[in-house]
Amino acid sequence: MLDVGKWPVFALLPPEELRLIRQACVFGSAANEALYVTVNDEVFALGTNCSGCLGLGDLQSTIEPRRIDVLCGKKIVSLSYGTGPHVVITTAEGEVFAWGHNGYSQLGNGTTNHGLTPALVSTNLLSKRVTEVACGSHHSIALTTDGEVFAWGYNNSGQVGSGSTANQPTPRRVSSCLQNKVVVNIACGQLCSMAVLDNGEIYGWGYNCNGQLGLGNNGNQQTPCRIAALQGVNVVQVACGYAHTLALTDEGMVYAWGANSYGQLGTGNKSNQALPTLINTDKERMVEVAACHTSHTSAAKTQSGQVLMWGQCRGQAVASPHLTHFSSTDDVFACFATPAVMWHLLSVDGDDYLTVAQSLKREFDSPEISDLKFLVDGKCIHVHKALLKIRCEHFRALLNETDEDAIEVHQFSYLVYRAFLEYLYTDTINLPPEDAIGLLDLATYYRETRLKRLCQETIKRGISEENAVTLLSAAVKYEARDLEEFCFKFCVNHLTAVTQTQAFADMDHDLLKNFISKASRYGAFKN
């Protein structure tokens, strides 16, 4: 499962749909457009659909995902987008598709007509296998298996690398200094392009008024220029922000150059740098750098898994690398970038790696390696003694006194007891509010404070005019004061409907008397 929960555009997707997502990219001027790929290789899009950038064949916005039929089964390996926006992808077969805004021929089809559906980019690429794509604001570049770079689209500053400033309507190979050289990594700023060679050299071309090409000057370049200041340094990855550049070396060091008005270079000040500057990362070895041409935010990940961020972070200028609690650079962009878009195609690990939490969840009620079973209402629930001891004081005491491999439970129902044991494995509960009452009883009995709170939250979310009295009775019985107050106020606010339910007619006499008294004080019976 790919965790996309930090991106609000996915907030309305049901859990069963979220569980199927294997790749995703959030983009757009307000992070209001998204594409995602499911485990079945189906491709869906949702959002505002500016310039037809969702590839759905029309300009209609959609709050619900719609399938992009032409891309289903294509196996996307790289995706990038511009600010129009336009979108470019490459597939496992090495084909390139593009759609969306095309005012500057950034779709590479020889026209300036917007593309409402994904179309194959064919000129000069049909005999090539493309492995990576990158987009600036309105230009696109592609990297082939042979290490060649092709570029097309907007070229006002030389970002296509053709030697002129005329827009490039179809893919053209970027040659000049890159002729006979093998490129292994590409990136684009708003109006510039960068390429890393297999020998660790790095080249840049295009707009340079902020020094983002790292050449020591501020002159635009219409053809690729090697960054001579990094002579002897072996660069393995490059990332471009709006007008700044980050480079990662094979020794885990990070260099930065270009615009710095938000501290995005991480140098401790806000002065632009036209030459690569080594960033102080407290001698930590870096394994990834991250930036996006839509923002002034920078991030990096250490060998030990820590994530640093700097630059424009939710409106603040953070001028030096700041240690976060995040586990990936993607989280930095979800929570702190403006707009909060993804800096690359987010993908699940290809090796199906499971986290500790995912592994535990998978083993719940699995008889294969369990060493204990509970018998409830004639049904078995398979668990692990060590985990129960770690997670629950009740079981720690119980299992230290017995070495039984089967325990019968009579006090609680199968549904409730299974939900309790599953909670110990997953930290979540999945019950309707009426059944959560029974779990609330168990949580009270076992003194599981957090579980009790989760039950109360579940009950609150599921309260209705039909079940309000039943839930109020349960809250009183189990001394859940906060829940009792919540249910009481709901009953008073829906008094006419609640008093007509069967549950109200069957209400315990003492509870009814207390309810009427309290409701009277609350002003429920005033004209």
Q: What is the pLDDT of residues 425-442, one digit of tens each?
A: 999 887 887 788 889 889
Mean pLDDT of 276-286: 91
Closest CA to 114 of 63, 58, 68: 58
What does the pLDDT read at residue 350? 47
What does the pLDDT read at residue 442? 92
492 phi/psi in degrees, rounded to 5 = -65, -40
Q: What is the pLDDT of residues 442-456, one digit of tens each?
A: 998 898 999 988 988
Instruction: Determine the distance from the C-alpha atom of residue 318 to the mean position of all C-alpha atoms in its chain, rounded to a whole number.
Output: 22
| Cβ neighbour number for residue 375 with a 10 Å cutoff | 15
Task: Count CA atoms within 13 Å of residue 288 on its CB side.
Answer: 17
394 vs 397: CA distance, rounded Å:
5
pLDDT score of 265 more than 50? yes
Where is mean pLDDT largest: 147-161, 279-293, 340-354? 147-161
279 vs 105: CA distance, rounded Å:
37
354 pLDDT band, cuts 50/70/90, is: low
Closest CA to 141 of 83, 199, 185, 200: 185
Mean pLDDT of 68-73: 96
User: Which residues have a Cβ under 8 Å from the Cβ of 123 and sit 6 or more positions away?
Assistant: 108, 109, 110, 170, 171
Indicate the burial class of 177 (C-beta count within 10 angstroms; 0-12, 13-18, 19 or more): middle
| Cβ neighbour number for residue 485 with a 10 Å cutoff | 13
Q: Token pair 């990070």 is at which residue?
A: 254
339 vs 88: CA distance, rounded Å:
20
Whether pTM exceeds 0.75: no
Closest CA to 79 of 115, 37, 31: 37
Where is mean pLDDT largest: 268-277, 282-291, 364-373? 268-277
Q: What is the pLDDT of residues 483-503, one digit of tens each?
A: 899 899 999 989 999 999 999
The residues pairing with 120 across neighbouring beta strands, listed in sequence order, are 97
Mean pLDDT of 189-196: 98
